[in-house]
Amino acid sequence: MEGRRSDLEKEWTEKLQNVNPPEMDEIHMQCIYRVPSNIRNYNPNAYTPQVVSIGPYHHNSFETMEELKLKYVKGFLNRTRLSTKEFVAKIEEIENSNNIRSCYADPIKCNGDDFFNMILVDACFMIELFLRWHERSDWEGKDPLMLKPWMLLQIRNMMAYEHCHDSATKIITQYVAILDFLINTEKDVNILVDKKIIVNWLGDTDKVVTMISNLNSTVTMPEFCSHYFSVCNGLNKFYENPRNKYKAMLIHDYLNTPWKIASTVAAIVLLLLTLIQTVIEERIH
């Protein structure tokens, strides 16, 4: 018994020898996460880089794009007129003043130099990409990164980020949930487009229905903030108002096509003429 206890003490001493207690500052700095398996398993390809990878999680997955990144770095340095020496010094200053590794929720296995070079290249690449996107009229059709539809990927990643991060509001997730409440058929999409509530960049209304449904099925239902709650409450009150119901029924049943409008107007005119004729005959008698 004593021998087993001694072995366990030795084993745990070795395990904890190089382990530091968690620092709250480091936990608060975490803002880059791996997508949780419960979200990722629904559609793994949606959260795996398809064109270019940023950061250590998928580093060197696209060798061709690593060459393109260097071209972006060169373009950024030419744009800023910084020398390589000046730029490296600035990145070192950022790394020393703010531990970049602490921003990642998972441990980073890259050694110091490899991690530093990766951050340097990826930082320049992203800034230059954003600048080119701002000037995209000069780059569209010439740059492979400008030809990809980003909207769906952006929404998916923002929802995954809200799921991981300490976000009490989850604005994007709530917005998608509200859209899922409103959009069930292609007709719903057409109504929202006609009222200029959404813009259908996908072209096909059925794709919009499928996209919203798939997006909302990957995360749990959030609690609505006061702004979204007031919107939902206002919509429900408007829907339950008898006056609005009768108005909608009138438009749907009698005024939704030119022929129905014409026949409804004709029926009303005929009814009025009949009523006038009846009143005149009564007065004559």
Q: Which tens digit of pLDDT belongs to each residue from 116-160? A: 888 888 888 999 988 887 776 555 555 554 445 567 778 888 888
204 in the same domain as 98: no
- Mean pLDDT on 25-32: 68
| Domain presence at residue 135 | yes
| Domain presence at residue 60 | yes
**Structure confidence at residue 139 (pLDDT):** 52
- Tell whether the model's pLDDT for residue 220 goes beyond 80: no
Can you give the residue range of the structural domain that contains 211? Answer: 151-238
**Structure confidence at residue 147 (pLDDT):** 42
Q: What is the pTM of this model?
A: 0.57
Percent of the chain beyond pLDDT 90?
Answer: 0
177 in the same domain as 112: no
Tens of pLDDT, residues 151-187: 777 888 888 888 887 666 788 888 888 888 888 899 9
Point out the domain boundary residue: 146, 174, 193: 146
Total structural domains in the chain?
3
Report CA dihedral (61, 64, 67, 68) to the nearest 10 degrees. -100
165 in the same domain as 218: yes
118 in the same domain as 22: yes
Average pLDDT score over the chain:
78
**Structure confidence at residue 55 (pLDDT):** 82
201 in the same domain as 252: no
103 in the same domain as 197: no
CA distance 13 to 19: 10
169 in the same domain as 112: no
| Domain presence at residue 40 | no
Output the 3-class SS for the chain. Answer: CHHHHHHHHHHHHHHHCCCCCCCHHHHHHCCECCCCHHHHCCCHHHHCCCCCCCCCCCCCCCHHHHHHHHHHHHHHHHHHCCCHHHHHHHHHHHHHHCCHHHHECCCCCCCHHHHHHHHHHHHHHHHHHHHHHHCHHHCCCCCHHHCCCCHHHHHHHHHHHHHHCCCCCCHHHHHHHHHHHHCCCHHHHHHHHHCCCCCCCCCCHHHHHHHHHHHHCCCCCCCCCHHHHHHHHHHHHHHHCHHHHHHHHHHHHHCCCHHHHHHHHHHHHHHHHHHHHHHHHHHHC
- Tell whether the model's pLDDT for residue 33 goes beyond 80: yes
- Tell whether the model's pLDDT for residue 52 goes beyond 50: yes
155 in the same domain as 141: no
Contacts (Cβ under 8 Å, ≥6 apart) of 18: none
**Structure confidence at residue 136 (pLDDT):** 64
- Tell whether the model's pLDDT for residue 224 goes beyond 80: no
**Structure confidence at residue 97 (pLDDT):** 52
**Structure confidence at residue 146 (pLDDT):** 44
Percent of the chain beyond pLDDT 70?
Answer: 84
